[in-house]
A and B are shown apart, each in its own frame.
Chain A
Amino acid sequence: MSGTGPRAGSLAWLLLLPLLAWLAVFVIAPAAILFVYAFCEHDELGRVVYRFTFDNFHRVGERVYLTIFIRSVGYAAVTTALCLAAGFPAAWYIARRPAALRHRLLLLVMIPFWTSFLIRTYAWMTILKQDGLLNSLLESTGFTRHPIELLYTPGAVTIGLVYAYLPFMILPIYASAEKLDASLVEAAHDLGAGPLRVFAAVIIPLTWPGIAAGTLLVFVPAIGMFAITDLMGGARIPLIGNVIQNQFFQARDWPFGAALGVVFLLLFAAAYVLLQRPKPAAA
């Protein structure tokens, strides 16, 4: 936005005002409240008592919660990797179609959002349960003789997470891939690069902003997800989202829940900084 005159600055601020107000009210203020609560004690009903303490953060550092943090990050990482593996080819394919078809295909990616997330999760439970659709299909086609344990397993949780977040990977990569100039790929081919080299040296660097945005959009919410682990995982393995939720709805310990939330926020910030580093150098 350089060279648009000296008045552009103030106008830009004016245009940004609604966004800044929104951020202040719905992001900064809640985060500040969370931060304050995290250093407080709590009473019998779980309410915050404004007495300074470090105890909540000491507790976050306990082995139990560290294990849960690491496990949550693991699930989110696997989810992100699978979303990338499935989402990149899909996004690339869609972006290379003629405009009319492209829009229709994009619509297909977004159609699931027309139904409530919980209803779609219950639909997955119907597919994966013991006498559900998938097991019936496998048995009737003779692939298996007994139903396989699908629902309420870590696999089911991963399926649920990948399903829920796949569109958030496809859409930003699509946006990058669509802008990519096809002649650059052709030029690389003409200059003698093989398909792998073209992919690594041209396509990945040029779609990197989309990959980074998609990774962030999938990874960050996947760490905190609790509904899928409850419904599709049978709440057997606690992830950090479940633990935070429990502090408010079972344990009556808001300050500890807030402390977990603060650490969680810092983790987001770290993930963001990591992904904002310069894109991989073209070899």
Chain B
Amino acid sequence: MRLLVRAVLLLGVLACRLPGRDELNLFAWSEYVPQKVIDGFTKETGIEVNYETFASNEEMISKLVAGRGDYDLIQPSDYAAEALIRANLLAPLDPALLPNRRNLDPAFRHLPHDPADRYTVPYMSGTVGIVVNSAVVHDPVAGYADVFQPRYAGRIVVLNDNREMVSWALASLGLPPNEITPATLERARPVIARWVRLVKVFDSDSPKTALLNGDVDLGVVWSGEAAILWKQDRKFHYVLPKEGAHEFVDVLAIPVGSTHQAAAHRFIDYVLRPEVSKLISDEFPYTNPNAGARKLLAPDQLANPASYPAGGKLETFRDIGRMASDVDRLVTDVKSSQ
């Protein structure tokens, strides 16, 4: 019996290691890499892509450090990439294998999380902002203070993401969103306590659902979700909060221990082609950092205020390391004692 099990296991291992059958283990956000892109890549290169998904940066980090070598290409957000670089968990990229990097908008080069562009390549970018169902809400909504008002109690959806919520509270207090210390958290506490009482739904995976269903009328959500809402119905307006908005850049990176680094480089360069990058925008209307791809977009794609918001105070997240635990404790406490 045990022999049989061993034989089966060995066969399985052999099947995975057979030479000639190239593959790529992609670990990326759910609903973020179009099937068309994966199919196109496999068709052109013959490289099989195994697409495994995650729903938060922390989930990705957990699985990455638990199973080293399982993934060849990952898709962290800027601050998560920063943490991984600091922990020496990312492999440096080979610029010679990424000629299409020249298509990127210069604004997306040399970002704070990877100043020398040594480890990461931007995939898509976006913001976290306010969505308003203008058919129900008639008063102007310009910032967090306008959203979290008693008269909208029970009509609000926000991301179920503790760090996001803390950063909004800090912005509303005029504090920089990355300055997370025990002192600033204490200042944010009463603000968050007031806000969570007004919120009906906390949802990071699909905050648009509650808005579409009519269960809520306002929200603080990912810009991509807002862009999809706007595409479906123009009554959903997107506003960058005037107190300051979180801008995120999701990147592609190769973890240390990847056994298919050449294939990973090929995939990154493939995605950097304007016509391929455009396919991503078609399906997931976030902000495309690829200047070449933007030229190919239709006017109404570029006119989507959630995908390409007009100016505003934007700030990216930096890694906060161990403070993530204190942020979680604060929000859990506040939510629990409402």
A residues within 8 Å of B by Cβ?
42, 44-47, 64, 67-68, 71, 125, 129-132, 149, 151-152, 230, 234-238, 243, 246-254, 256
Contacts and interface: CB of A to CB of B under 8 A. Distances in A.
Q: Which of A44, A131, A247 has the most CB of B within 10 A?
A: A44
Interface string B211-255: 001110000000000000000000000000000000000000000
The size bracket of the interface on B is 35 or more
Given A45-B65, A64-B337, A68-B336, A249 B58 contact: yes
Contact of A46 (B58, B84, B162, B196): B58
Contact of A251 (B58, B154, B214): B58
B87 A249 contact: no
Nearest to B196: A236
B13 to A, nearest CB: 19
Contact of A44 (B87, B214, B329): B87
B59 interface: yes
A253 B321 CA distance: 11
A45 B84 CA distance: 8
B192 to A, nearest CB: 13
Given A44-B321, A67-B337, A248-B59, A130 B160 contact: no
B147 interface: no
Interface stretch (B200-208, B259-267, B281-289): B200-208
A249 B336 contact: no
Nearest to B327: A251
Contacts of A251: 58, 162, 324-325, 327-329
A122 to B, nearest CB: 9
Contacts of A253: 324-325, 328
Contact of A129 (B215, B324, B325, B333): B215
Contacts of B163: 250
A58 B61 CA distance: 26
Contact of A238 (B161, B203, B319, B336): B336
A130 B212 CA distance: 11
B21 interface: no
B199 interface: yes
Contacts of B335: 236-238
Given A44-B83, A149-B154, 6 more contacts: A130-B213, A230-B202, A236-B200, A237-B336, A238-B332, A256-B325
Nearest to B199: A236
B260 to A, nearest CB: 23
Contact of A250 (B56, B196, B215): B56
B145 to A, nearest CB: 22
A136 to B, nearest CB: 12
B214 A252 contact: no
Contacts of B62: 46, 248-249, 252, 254
Given A46-B58, A46-B61, A129-B213, A152 B200 contact: yes
Interface in B54-70: 55-56, 58-59, 61-62, 65
A129 B329 CA distance: 31
Contacts of A248: 58-59, 62
A216 B201 CA distance: 31
B337 to A, nearest CB: 7
Contacts of B201: 152, 234-236
Contacts of B55: 249
A72 B128 CA distance: 32
A149 B216 CA distance: 11
A243 B59 contact: no
A235 B322 contact: no
